Chains A and B, each alone.
Chain A
Amino acid sequence: MNAQPHILVIDDEPQILRALRTILTEKHFRVTTASRGEEGLALAAANPPDVIILDLGLPDMDGTEVCAHLREWTLIPIIVLSARDNERDKVAALDKGADDYLTKPFGIEELLARLRVALRHRAQAQSKSQTTLVKSGDLTIDLASHVVTRTGVEVKLTATEFKLLAYLAANAGRVLTHQSILTHVWDAAEVDQVEYLRVYMRQLRKKLEDDPRQPRYLLTEPGVGYRFVIEE
C-alpha cells in the first residue's frame, strides 16, 4: 500500500467528482475518478484502489450490478452513495457486497469517517490478523473469550446477545443490514423476522448503553440495519 491511500470515485456528476477530488487530495488521498460503471470497473481492475466510492445512480449500469461485478474478484471496500429516499437500493447494494453507504448530501467529516473505517478493515483483512479485542468508549469486547466489560465491570450476556454483539463489533464502524445480521446470528428459519433483531437489540442496549433510547454504540440505520460505533 502506498503512503497515500488510493481512492476510486465512480460518479456521473462532474461537480461531485471535482469536489471529492479537491477535498480528498487536500486530505492526502490519491484520487482516481470514473463517470461510468464500465470505466470504473476497468480502472479498478487495472489499478486496484484501496477504497471505492460508488454512486448508485450511474447512466450505463445499476450501481448494485457494479458491486456484484467487483465482488466477483476483489474485497476492496465499497462505499455507496445514494439519494435519501431509496433505502431499498442501499440495502440491495449492501447485500450485494457493498461495505457502507452515505446519503447525499453528506458532510465531508462523515465521508472521512467512513473512509477510515473502510481502510482499517482493509488493513485488517490484508494482515489476516483478526483483532479479538474491540474497544469503544467504556466498552471492551473480547471476541475470543466472550467477555464483555462496561467501565471495567463484566456484563452478563445471553448466547444470542453475545453472538449479535460480536458480529457487530467485528465489523465495527460498518453498517450491517438486517438480512446480513439475521443470517449470521439466527437460524435460517428466522431470517425474515426482523422483530427478533429489534428485541435483542433493545436488550443489548439496556445492558450496554447509558441511555438505551439514545444509544452511543449500537446505532440504528433507519430502514437499512445497525452499526456498531467505535468511540475513541
Chain B
Amino acid sequence: MKGLPKRVNKMMASCLKAGETPARVILGRLYPKGVKSQSTGEDDPRSHTKKHLNLFDAPFITAYDVKPTRAMRRLRLSSPFFYALAVLAIASATLVLYLLRGSLNTPIIALLFLLPVVASALGGLGPGLTAAICAFLAFNYFFIPPLYTFVVHQTQDILVLFVFLAVAVVISQLVARTQSSRAMAEAREREATHLYALSTALAGLRQDEDIARTLGQHLQEAFQSAPFEIVIQPTEGKPTTIYKFPLANPEAPVTKPGHLSPLTTPRGQVGQICLHPSQPLSLANERLLNAFANQGALAVERAALAQTETRASVLEESDRLKSALLSSVSHELRTPLATIKAAATSLHSGDIPWESQSRIDLLAAIDEEVDLTNRLIGNLLDMSRIEAGALNPRREWNILAEIVGGVLTRMRLAAQHHRLEVDIPEDLPLVPVDYVQMEQVFTNLISNSLKYAPSGTTIRVHAHAHSDALHIQVSNEGPPVPSEHLERIFDKFYRVTAAERVTGTGLGLSICKGIVEAHNGRIWAENLPGRFAFNFTLPLALDGMPPPWLPVETDSA
C-alpha cells in the first residue's frame, strides 16, 4: 500500500472499516498517472470509478481480482487455516525426518524439508513463507549440530541453513504466484465464457424484450441468481422494457439499492442493470457486470440500427416504387389528356361543322380517353392500397357466375372484336370473395387478354371446384410468353413487349396478384398448346367454414 497517495490510503481504511464494497480501494492503482487523485470534480467518486474501469484492459484489472476485505489476508496473510496447515506440515515432516535421521544425511533432509514448504505455498505466499521459516527453524533445531539448540557452530552449516531458507522462500513465492495466476486465469476464463455465451445469445436479437430476457438469463447464471432488474429504454419517449429477477412480483419497486451499471451507447444511456448481490461484489464480478451492461448496450444499439435500416430499406423501396409510378403515370396520363385537349380545343374553335362525322369522332375520343384516365387512376389507387397492405377484402359468400357475368356485361363494348366464352358449372359452390375486388381481377385479366390476343379469337373463362379450393382459368389465343417472363409478368410495370406498343399502366396483373393473395389464393400464368392462360386458386372456406348449403323454396307463391 505504500506509494499510494495518502488520501487513497485513508479512504481505503474507512472503506474497510465500513465493510463497503471494495472496488474503489484498488482505484489508485488502476488509474493512469494524473487521474489518480480522483479530484476531477465528480460528486460521486464511485460513478467516476466505473467510468474509468470500463476503459482499462482486462488483464491489468484482473490482477486485483480479490475482495479487498479479505484481500489483505489472502495476499499477505492468507486464511488462518492455511497457516495452521503449513505449521502442521512442517511439524509432521520434522517428526518423520527425525525418526529417519539415522539413514539420511543433512543435505537430503534439507531437500526433503522443501516438500512441505512447496505444499504450503500452494495455500498462498504467507503460508509458504511461514512454512519456510518454520522449516528453517526445525531444521536448525533438530538436525544441525549442536542438536536441540538454535546455535550453529560450523560455517558450512550456516551456509546450508541460509541456502535452505533462500530456496524455501523463493520456491514458496514462485508457487504462490503460480497459484494466484491460475486463479486469475480461471476467473478470466469464467468471465470470458459468460461473456461469450452472452454475446452469442444476444447476436441477432431485434426486440428489446428479447434482449432484456437473454441478458437476464445470463446474469442469473453468472451471479448465482442474485436479484436484479434490467431496464431498457432505447430512446426517450419509447416504451420501456423491464426485466426483473426473481419474477415473483414484477410490479414491485426495488427499494434496496444495488450495483447500478448503465447501458451506455454513443447516443447516451439506453438503460441500466441494477444488481442486488447477497454479499459485496468482487471487483472481477463488478467488472463482469459492467461487461454484461456493455454487451446489453451493444445489443440494444444493434437492434435500433437494424430497425432503422429496415425502415430505411422500406422507405427506399417505396420511394423507388413512387418514382416508377410517377414516371409511368405522367406518361400514361398525358396520352389520353393530349387526345382530350386536342379534341376539346378543336370542337371549341368552331372549325368543326356541327353535324359532321369528325365531330362525332372527336366526342367519342374524349369519352373513351376520359374512361381510360379514370381506369388508370383506379389502378393507381388499388396499387397503393395493395402496397400499403390496406386492401382488406370484405369476403362474403358470392356466386362466381354473377361476378363474371357483371364483368362481361360491362366489357361488352371493349370485347366486341373477340368472342367471350364462360364455362362455370351450375353447381359450383358459393365462393368467399370480395365482390368488387374479384370483379377487378376478372376485368384486368380479360382486358389483358383483349390487348394481346388477335381479334376474332376466343377468350375463355373456366372455373371448377377442386376439393377445398376453387380453380379459375382465364385463357386467350394470344402468343405464348417466353418461360423466363412467366413469373415476372405479375410484377409492377413489367412488360413482355415494348411499352410503346401497348397502353396501360403495367399495373393490371400485379393488382390481380395483390387481390388474389389477399384472398389467400395463388396466381400464375402458363403457356398451353395454342393458348396462353392465367390461373388462380381461391380457398373455398370463410373463417374455417365450408360453403353454406342454402335450402331454396320449391313451392309457388
- Residues of chain A at the chain B interface (Cβ within 8 Å): 84-85, 87, 105, 107, 146, 156-162, 194-196, 198-203, 212-215, 220, 222-223
Contact = CB atoms under 8 A, between A and B. Distances in A.
Given A157-B556, A158-B553, A159-B553, A202 B399 contact: yes
Given A84-B374, A84-B378, A214-B405, A199 B436 contact: no
Nearest to B394: A223
10 contacts: A158-B552, A159-B557, A194-B397, A198-B402, A199-B430, A202-B402, A213-B405, A215-B405, A222-B439, A223-B394
Contacts of B554: 158
A158 B422 CA distance: 29
Contacts of A222: 406, 435-436, 439
B553 A220 contact: no
A107 B366 CA distance: 12
Given A84-B374, A198-B430, 13 more contacts: A84-B381, A87-B436, A158-B557, A161-B553, A198-B397, A198-B398, A199-B552, A202-B399, A202-B401, A202-B402, A213-B402, A214-B409, A223-B434
Given A85-B381, A215-B405, A160 B553 contact: yes
A17 B374 CA distance: 20
B550 A195 contact: yes
Contacts of B430: 195, 198-199
A85 B370 contact: no
Contacts of B394: 223
Nearest to B548: A195
A223 B408 contact: no
Nearest to A178: B396
Given A161-B557, A213-B408, A195 B397 contact: yes
Contacts of B555: 158-159
Contacts of A105: 370, 374
A157 B554 CA distance: 9
A32 B374 CA distance: 28
B337 interface: no
B366 to A, nearest CB: 11
Given A105-B370, A198-B399, A203-B552, A157 B557 contact: yes
Nearest to A166: B557
Contacts of B398: 195, 198
Contacts of A107: 367
Contact of B378 (A85, A198, A199, A215): A85
Nearest to B430: A195
Contacts, number: 74
A86 B381 CA distance: 11
**Residue among B370, B409, B548 with max Cβ neighbours from chain A (10 Å):** B409
Interface residues of B, number: 32
Interface string B429-467: 010001110010000000000000000000000000000
Given A105-B374, A220-B402, A200 B552 contact: yes
Nearest to A107: B367
A214 B553 CA distance: 24
The 10 closest A-B pairs by CB, nearest first: A195-B397, A213-B405, A158-B553, A223-B436, A162-B557, A156-B556, A159-B557, A214-B409, A199-B550, A222-B436
A203 B399 CA distance: 12
A195 B396 contact: yes
Contacts of A158: 552-557
A148 B15 CA distance: 106
B481 interface: no
B404 interface: yes
Contact of B401 (A87, A159, A200, A213): A213
A26 to B, nearest CB: 15
Nearest to B378: A84
A198 B436 CA distance: 14
Indicate the member of B396, B398, B402, B557 with the most A CB atoms within 10 Å.
Answer: B557
Given A196-B550, A198-B399, A220 B406 contact: yes
B404 to A, nearest CB: 7
A85 B377 CA distance: 10
Contacts of B548: 195
- Counting chain B CB atoms within 10 Å of each CB, which of A107, A158, A201, A220 scores highest? A220
A220 B402 CA distance: 8
Contacts of B439: 222
Contacts of B556: 156-158
Nearest to A221: B406
B422 A213 contact: yes
A107 B554 CA distance: 42
Nearest to A206: B426
Contacts of B436: 87, 222-223
A152 to B, nearest CB: 18
A129 to B, nearest CB: 25
A195 B556 CA distance: 21
B399 A199 contact: yes
